[in-house]
Chain A
Amino acid sequence: MYSAFRDIRQALFENRLTCVDLVKYYLQNIENQADLNVFLSVYAEEALAQAHLIDQKIQNQTAGRLAGMVIGLKDVICYQNHPLQGGSKILNGFVSQFSATVVERLLAEDAIIIGRQNCDEFAMGSSNENSAFGVVRNAADKNRVPGGSSGGSAVAVQANMCLASLGSDTGGSVRQPAAFCGLVGLKPTYSRISRYGLVAYASSFDCIGIITQNVEDNALLLEIIAGGDAFDSTVSFRAVPKYSQSLNFSQKPKIAYLREAVESAGLSEAVRVHTRQKLDFLRQAGYVVEAVDFPLIKYILPTYYILTTAEASSNLARFDGVRYGYRSPQAQDLRNMYVRSRQEGFGAEVQRRIMLGTFVLSADYYDAYYTKAQKVRRLIQEATNEIFKKYDFLVMPTTPRTAFEIGALTGDPIQMYLEDLFTVQANLVGKPAISIPNGVDEKGLPIGFQIMADSFQEADLLAFANYLAQ
């Protein structure tokens, strides 16, 4: 069928295709591949009704820029009158009273929302094994994880259940599953996209991100959903460029790669070889490609885990069984109601992170852990800024290896955390990064190549990614 929005639009406007046909095609794929456990809710009738309306708009020449775009939403993005659970039992029965700003902007351009996608509970995880609704399976190999936390969102695009997905990326949760599923995953600059209506995990890291089959579709979606919003006081009010119209790359940028990443002993052979081939290709094409040292690399993950767990323990305090979601039927008194509801409602990884976060924020340990990590975060940001004074892009593999088997890392939290080694830096420093496909390993599993750019340089980042992906 169609993997590029450009082809869908052409077919729609030449009357070779209707939105109704398109939605039926995706619904069929969702039904046929239910074993991948991707969708938590499918809005079949509604999507078909919407498709019918948009077909009429196309005939009347009043259709928006996303007419024909069928999109899925990670279960952390609010859509009015639709369920939302953050992959957690603690939000059982929750129905959103409003839509996220990103959803409003998609709908205003006639996108069709097809359903709600499985993810790690409150976006905490690297494998989609932490969902209250069970593991999502990678369509490239059903015994393997799709990555996380936006695993359902990635597999939905990989397995043609929708054309694009919106996910969230706090430490790599869009880019890592995109890499594991052979897709394009973008985490924009911190504050580029409004987070109104996004379930909060770690607020100084969280970004909404976009998963697509190609760079062009990703650029178009960013162009539409990014920009100022009166409902999010952290969002950037900088003008949003027409990313989708500046994808032809003609400059000769200077490229750095992290020596520690490419030479890391933890890299699988296939990832190393494919990454080197990409670097060689760039050199042969006449680019400056140089190794840079980043001695702070080993402090990136510890800094990330201290700060994100601290922020999570605070953000997740709102789940107390009072105003929404799950309340333990065993609650006797108020305190007991809080404790039982949280204990029974949250999964093990979420509880572990709340405990860690509460500990590092507790009076006796605040300075030693939390303040210390904030200081190291500044050092990491300054060191990264130094790189972007000399280079336009920083490249590395998206992940140290390809998708691992379900259950392979669940016993060891630190091993699981190490999966995010290369993606976390962009979140710590707030810079944009994209993962693009970079071939497959000996088992046919996709490999990702990550490009990071300086803040608000998405136009160049997308154009360069588009050039490299072709």
Chain B
Amino acid sequence: MINTDTLHKIANLARLEFEPADEAKLLADLNKILDWVAMLQEVNTEGVEPLIHLSEEVNVFRADVVQNQIEREKALWNAPQKDEEYFKVPKVLDI
């Protein structure tokens, strides 16, 4: 079960934040879902390898050819804030 402390810890890891008024509902939803998925503990998985990749392709290599697929101006065109060359973010360091 998740409590409010864990909720805050997880939210911090996910870079999310919730209004105190919404926390109770979210907590209830998450606990209900976790309670439901807990049924997997019934399954005997001793000696079973986790299934991680579904594609049968392995180590797909291609030549490392420089193609310059996107010009700087284009790469920047969706930026919320930018100058001629860079993405801009709020000040990170106080010097």
Contacts and interface: CB of A to CB of B under 8 A. Distances in A.
Interface of A: 93-95, 97-98, 190-191, 204, 230, 233-237, 296, 298-299, 302-303, 305-306, 313, 317, 320-327, 331-340, 342-343, 346, 351-352, 354-356, 358-359, 362, 368-369, 371-379, 381, 413-414, 430
Contacts of A190: 54-55
A359 B30 contact: yes
Contact of B45 (A204, A369, A372): A372
B29 A352 contact: yes
B57 interface: yes
Given A302-B40, A337-B90, A352-B30, 18 more contacts: A236-B55, A298-B39, A299-B40, A302-B36, A302-B37, A306-B40, A322-B89, A323-B87, A327-B80, A334-B89, A339-B16, A355-B11, A355-B16, A356-B33, A356-B34, A374-B52, A379-B43, A413-B33
Contacts of B66: none
A326 B80 contact: yes
Nearest to A230: B62
B10 A362 contact: yes
Contacts, number: 158
A321 B80 CA distance: 7
B48 interface: yes
Interface in B31-50: 32-34, 36-37, 39-41, 43, 45, 48-50
A97 B70 contact: yes
A381 B56 CA distance: 14
Given A321-B80, A374-B52, A302 B39 contact: yes
B55 A351 contact: no
B33 A305 contact: yes
Interface string B58-69: 001010000001
Nearest to B75: A97
A337 B40 CA distance: 38
Nearest to B81: A327
Q: Give the interface size bracket for B toward A.
A: 35 or more
B41 A372 contact: yes
A144 B75 CA distance: 41
A98 B7 CA distance: 38
The 10 closest A-B CB pairs, nearest first, are A374-B50, A324-B78, A327-B80, A378-B51, A375-B45, A302-B37, A430-B54, A191-B55, A358-B14, A375-B48
A322 B92 CA distance: 13
Contact of B37 (A306, A335, A430): A306
23 contacts: A93-B78, A94-B78, A97-B70, A97-B75, A98-B69, A204-B52, A235-B57, A237-B57, A296-B43, A306-B37, A313-B14, A322-B89, A324-B79, A324-B80, A327-B80, A342-B15, A352-B29, A372-B45, A373-B37, A375-B50, A379-B43, A413-B29, A414-B33
Interface of B: 2, 6-7, 9-11, 13-18, 26, 29-30, 32-34, 36-37, 39-41, 43, 45, 48-57, 60, 62, 69-70, 74-75, 77-81, 87, 89-92
A378 B81 contact: no
A95 B77 contact: yes
Contacts of B33: 305, 356, 413-414
A204 B54 contact: yes
Contacts of B14: 313, 342, 354-355, 358
Contacts of A371: 50
Given A204-B54, A339-B16, A413-B33, A379 B40 contact: no
Contacts of B18: 343, 351
B53 to A, nearest CB: 7
A17 B30 CA distance: 55
A233 B43 CA distance: 33
Contacts of A313: 14
Contacts of B77: 95, 97
